[in-house]
Chain A
């Protein structure tokens, strides 16, 4: 078990952009303490001389030409139909500043 406080849970929920109800906070405090305790078992592995893995089958630097993809009005409309709030061809969001 890892000692995770209620404050830790509220902090990590803020970082993860999640609103939590009070009863969820206590449940996740219990769950995360138990699971993070299990995660910590990897600390026993000696990895001093080991590199972190990059790509598992060893691929590197896959490039493509940086071209703009022409988008038909039909494709544009199909994408925009999923937008919760729109203004013509624009996505409406709340003021950021």
Chain B
């Protein structure tokens, strides 16, 4: 889609300004109100139109512009854009205006991409349904009585509802892939270290990655090319040669080995999702790939290990929200001590799910429990990584359902946190192992008069985004 729009822009069939107006009109039409999608927390029309005008003048001057120039995108409201609010979906940051651009934003500015606005999310990226935001829920564009998934639910819904061409999300334990599966978009969690997190509010620092959401694999590849690369301001980023990922698409899959993980086809999987998935496996066979059965024995332990690590790191990262340098305040009250002030500001500023996770993480890091929880989980993580190392000695990719189910109804899981956490079961191993993982739509399930998307997940070797994107692209092309 980006390539087609780019052709229209550079050949003068449409101006960037007109394109932005089209998307702003779409946002006005579908995003707000009781039955609106609610994908955006904020829309910055002036910023988007200004960026578009720059692109139009560059094109008028005969400049060669990058593929993303003038393309209207949306940014998860966890990522800083200079002089715009970054709320993280929290009351804590209701008035926080970022004094700087995140590295991914700086890189996108270099391509002259257009930022329409900031998208809704579960508070501080903690959740799988985008129901835990201080700014209201986001609805699934395929069926507004259902959740869009989360935590990047706004970013996926914006693309699915044609309110943006592409978007950025973040993925700590499935937060790009699961909403992509629920909304019918394509989403990529890159390898840990592929994309800089500088300027992105941290959740689980040993797990977090920023990645693209779009309507095609090629569009994801184009966005990834723009945002990837080493950054001195994020010491965890790996060396990169500045790949142009979209140039690696179209390679024949004949002879490629694709592993099907038996532990992912277990009891909790909706049989209808299983059928769609197994049909998709047949498609890979017809593309010449060799299907290999694979076992990842520690899969069952991944979810518990993930939640111990993620909540522990969250409790450490969110300690900075103390109402002193930024964020909520409580000027009107008098407190006996600074500690009482902190407790009040944090108790009022954080939502229920964040407080729940902060207490879980504080508990697992506390004296007497650290070895039994955090250290133990880091050991289990070593075993999970070894599972993936062994699997990738035998196969080029792993293919699984992205989620064990289709989008569930709004309100269905909010009363039972453990049940909500279990929705991440197929997603968290990729974050624990650090490997790249792509979700793409592989079919639909009809329920009543709605058609609900099913996602398939392709996992690849560390830093093999080229291969993962190509495997997704070839599947996608085979059904056109």
Q: Which residue of A lies closest to B207 (CB)?
A: A56
| Bound CA span A78–B373, Å | 40
B contact residues around A8 at 8 Å (CB): 363
B355's partner among A24, A43, A52, A96 (CB-CB below 8 A) is A24
Q: Do A35 and B347 contact each other (CB < 8 Å), given the known contacts A45-B298, A82-B99?
A: no
The total number of A-B Cβ pairs within 8 Å is 169
Q: Which residue of A lies closest to B334 (CB)?
A: A94
Whether a CB of chain A sits under 8 angstroms from the CB of B59 is: no
Whether a CB of chain A sits under 8 angstroms from the CB of B382 is: yes
B377's partner among A34, A42, A94 (CB-CB below 8 A) is A42
| Bound CA span A82–B93, Å | 10
Q: Do A55 and B236 contact each other (CB < 8 Å), given the known contacts A16-B315, A16-B359?
A: yes
The reply to whether A82 and B235 form a contact with Cβ atoms under 8 Å apart is no
The reply to whether B97 and A81 form a contact with Cβ atoms under 8 Å apart is yes
| Bound CA span A44–B346, Å | 35
Q: Which of A49-79 contact B (CB under 8 A)?
A: 50-53, 55-57, 59, 62, 64, 75, 78-79
B contact residues around A16 at 8 Å (CB): 315, 346, 355, 358-359, 361-362
The reply to whether A52 and B99 form a contact with Cβ atoms under 8 Å apart is no
Whether a CB of chain A sits under 8 angstroms from the CB of B480 is: no
B contact residues around A42 at 8 Å (CB): 301, 304-305, 308, 373, 376-377, 380
The reply to whether A50 and B379 form a contact with Cβ atoms under 8 Å apart is yes
Q: Do A51 and B382 contact each other (CB < 8 Å), given the known contacts A17-B343, A94-B335?
A: yes
The reply to whether A53 and B360 form a contact with Cβ atoms under 8 Å apart is no
Whether a CB of chain A sits under 8 angstroms from the CB of B337 is: yes
The reply to whether B359 and A32 form a contact with Cβ atoms under 8 Å apart is yes
| Bound CA span A91–B99, Å | 17
Q: Do A50 and B383 contact each other (CB < 8 Å), given the known contacts A16-B358, A57-B191, A59-B238?
A: yes
| Bound CA span A57–B100, Å | 29
| Bound CA span A39–B311, Å | 11
The reply to whether A35 and B379 form a contact with Cβ atoms under 8 Å apart is no
Q: Which of A18-51 contact B (CB under 8 A)?
A: 18-20, 24, 27-28, 31-32, 34-36, 38-45, 47, 50-51
CB distance from A35 to the nearest CB of B (A): 6
CB distance from B206 to the nearest CB of A (A): 7
B contact residues around A93 at 8 Å (CB): 324, 338
Q: Do A28 and B356 contact each other (CB < 8 Å), given the known contacts A17-B343, A43-B372, A85-B331?
A: yes
The reply to whether B325 and A12 form a contact with Cβ atoms under 8 Å apart is no
Q: Which of B321-369 contact A (CB under 8 A)?
A: 322-329, 331, 335, 337-339, 341-344, 346-348, 350, 352, 355-356, 358-364, 366
Whether a CB of chain A sits under 8 angstroms from the CB of B250 is: no
Whether a CB of chain A sits under 8 angstroms from the CB of B132 is: no
The reply to whether A39 and B335 form a contact with Cβ atoms under 8 Å apart is no
Q: Which of B86-133 contact A (CB under 8 A)?
A: 95-97, 99-100
Q: Which residue of B lies closest to A27 (CB)?
A: B352
Q: Do A56 and B359 contact each other (CB < 8 Å), given the known contacts A17-B342, A78-B99, A84-B323?
A: no
Q: Which residue of B lies closest to A74 (CB)?
A: B99
- Mask: chain B, 32-56; 1 = CB below 8 Å from A; 0 = not: 0000000000000000000000000
A contact residues around B381 at 8 Å (CB): 52-53, 56
B462's partner among A12, A20, A57, A91 (CB-CB below 8 A) is A57
B339's partner among A17, A27, A31, A55 (CB-CB below 8 A) is A17
A56's partner among B232, B338, B385 (CB-CB below 8 A) is B385
- Mask: chain B, 300-318; 1 = CB below 8 Å from A; 0 = not: 0101110110000001000
| Bound CA span A41–B421, Å | 15
The reply to whether A35 and B324 form a contact with Cβ atoms under 8 Å apart is no
The reply to whether A19 and B343 form a contact with Cβ atoms under 8 Å apart is yes
A contact residues around B338 at 8 Å (CB): 93-96
Whether a CB of chain A sits under 8 angstroms from the CB of B288 is: no
The reply to whether B382 and A35 form a contact with Cβ atoms under 8 Å apart is no
- Mask: chain B, 262-289; 1 = CB below 8 Å from A; 0 = not: 0000000000000000000000000000
| Bound CA span A27–B352, Å | 10
The reply to whether A31 and B417 form a contact with Cβ atoms under 8 Å apart is yes
Q: Which of B411-467 contact A (CB under 8 A)?
A: 417-418, 421, 432-434, 462-463
Q: Do A13 and B359 contact each other (CB < 8 Å), given the known contacts A45-B380, A56-B192, A79-B99?
A: yes
Q: Which residue of A lies closest to B462 (CB)?
A: A57
CB distance from A32 to the nearest CB of B (A): 6
B contact residues around A64 at 8 Å (CB): 232, 235
CB distance from B132 to the nearest CB of A (A): 13
Q: Which residue of A lies closest to B83 (CB)?
A: A78
3 closest Cβ contacts across the A-B interface? A19-B347, A78-B99, A84-B329
Given contacts A16-B315, A53-B379, A56-B385, 14 further A-B contacts (CB under 8 A): A27-B352, A31-B356, A32-B359, A34-B417, A35-B307, A36-B363, A52-B379, A56-B192, A57-B238, A64-B232, A78-B99, A83-B325, A84-B326, A84-B327
Jot down 10 A-B pairs with beta carbons below 8 A, ordered by A.
Answer: A12-B362, A16-B315, A17-B322, A17-B343, A38-B304, A42-B377, A50-B379, A51-B382, A53-B385, A82-B325
